[in-house]
Amino acid sequence: MINPTKFEEAYGFRRSDVALANWRTAPFNRWSFQNVGELVPSARIEASSGATETEAVDFSGLLNETVSLSKGAETIATFLDRSSADALTVMKGGRFVGDWFAPHTRPGNRHIVFSISKSLTAILAGILEGEGGFDPEAPVTAYIPEATGSAYGDATVRHVLDMTVSLDFEEAYLDPESAFARYRRATLWNPGGGDEGLEEFLLSIKRRPEPHGEVFRYRSPNSDLLGVLVERASGRRVPELFREKLWGPLGACGEGAITVDRVGTARTAGGISMTPRDLARVGEMIRRGGVAGGKRVVPEAWVHDTTTAGSLDAWKRGDFAHLFAEGRYRNKWYQSGKGSCCGIGIHGQWLFVDPASEVVIVKMSSQPTPVDDPLDHDNVDFFEALVGMV
């Protein structure tokens, strides 16, 4: 057991100060984002059998290099501090070329990746599709008949994958009286949960009057529903699917975890925790067209579709057009419009893949606020600058 005084010296607060009511707020998130399982029920995702991690690669030689961001030129070290970074891992040409960790982060720690969980769950859907066990063009009710009468009753799986469901729901992260707060209670992420399960909540959401498929609306319940869809299609639980279909073939060296509700429904919209290097391995697999360790993990056609298809019009009508002016969203991955793609999570979680330069970057953070649009732009500028340095 860690000495309470040592804990307070390391984090500036006591472990007993961290609770379900404050785990996503600063400064407590510097610890809780790396220890979610102590606060929210979680299921294990076992590491790849026999996989061992290599030593960290020193990144300090680049910390004093400058990058041009919205506030002007600043050093990489300054930006990492300003953006509340916890860890940074960089790969180039399939090799790890740099690892950096904040003082409160131990190499090998897993960290919650929030909405990058969506991108990871979509990979499961792509694998199942390649096996003939999942149809992205099928109606949601083909897999979840009880979705009839909900917002998903006349939606397709494709609408769910591309966030174009006409869902009457707002992503109000900080409003304690909103439907989003009820959603978080159903996931056991907020106090007061347990009366309503996640699936029960999802199927209670109603639709907006306009048609599905026309507007990109970033709504996290879609991605939790995707987890239910892949479980119904496969007859397997999400943690088992991740272990067998992704962690093992990827050669993941660390154990992952995913938060679950009162009956074990996985929070596939945002509940996955994993190490920075294993997340980088996912990015490298995408960069290589679905191959890892010389073996195919996900169909090449699915990767090509994910990184090139999607509706530009739906994107431009949607929530995030300010981030990537010529971007698209496909299979829960973002396209920058410049050849790169990424997964993004609140509080500063990033998986950035640039195939042209063969660079993959993972940045995990504990930003004080869930969403910070100016900082998102700075992160993209930082990644694009870093690509040219490594």
234 is catalytic: no
87 three-class SS: strand
Distance from C-alpha of 208 to C-alpha of 210, rounded to nearest angstrom: 6
Co-location of 275 and 365 in the same domain: yes
What does the pLDDT average to over 161-176?
Answer: 89
pLDDT of 177: 77
Co-location of 18 and 38 in the same domain: no
Establish if 204 belongs to a structural domain.
no
- Displacement of CA 344 from its chain's centroid (Å): 6
Q: What kind and span of H or E run contains 291?
A: strand 291-292
Co-location of 254 and 350 in the same domain: yes
Q: Give burial (CB, 10 Å; 0-12/13-18/19+) of 307.
A: buried
Distance from C-alpha of 170 to C-alpha of 329, rounded to nearest angstrom: 19
Establish if 188 belongs to a structural domain.
no
First-last CA distance in the chain: 40
Q: Is 93 left (phi over 0), alpha (psi -120 to 50) or beta?
A: left
Q: Which of 103, 108, 128 is nearest to 51 (CA)?
A: 108
Map 335-367 to HEC letters: ECCCCCEEEEECCCEEEEEECCCCEEEEEEECC
Establish if 90 belongs to a structural domain.
yes
Q: pTM to 2 decimals?
A: 0.97
pLDDT of 6: 87
Establish if 78 belongs to a structural domain.
yes
- Are 316 and 310 within 8 A, CB to CB? no
Do the strands 328-330 and 333-335 form a parallel or antiparallel pair, or are they unpaired? antiparallel
Structural domains in the chain (count): 2
* pLDDT tens digit sequence for 319-352: 899 999 999 999 999 999 999 999 999 999 999 9
The residue from 48, 84, 115, 117 that is catalytic is 115
Co-location of 8 and 79 in the same domain: no
For the chain, give the mean pLDDT.
96
- Are 189 and 370 within 8 A, CB to CB? no
Co-location of 9 and 67 in the same domain: no
Co-location of 306 and 363 in the same domain: yes
pLDDT of 1: 55
- Are 110 and 54 within 8 A, CB to CB? no
Establish if 336 belongs to a structural domain.
yes
Q: Which alpha helices (H) appear in 254-326, and where do they start and end?
A: 276-287, 300-308, 312-316
* pLDDT tens digit sequence for 96-155: 999 999 999 999 999 999 999 999 999 999 999 999 999 999 999 999 999 999 999 999
Co-location of 359 and 256 in the same domain: yes
Q: Which domain holds residue 6?
A: 1-32
Establish if 357 belongs to a structural domain.
yes
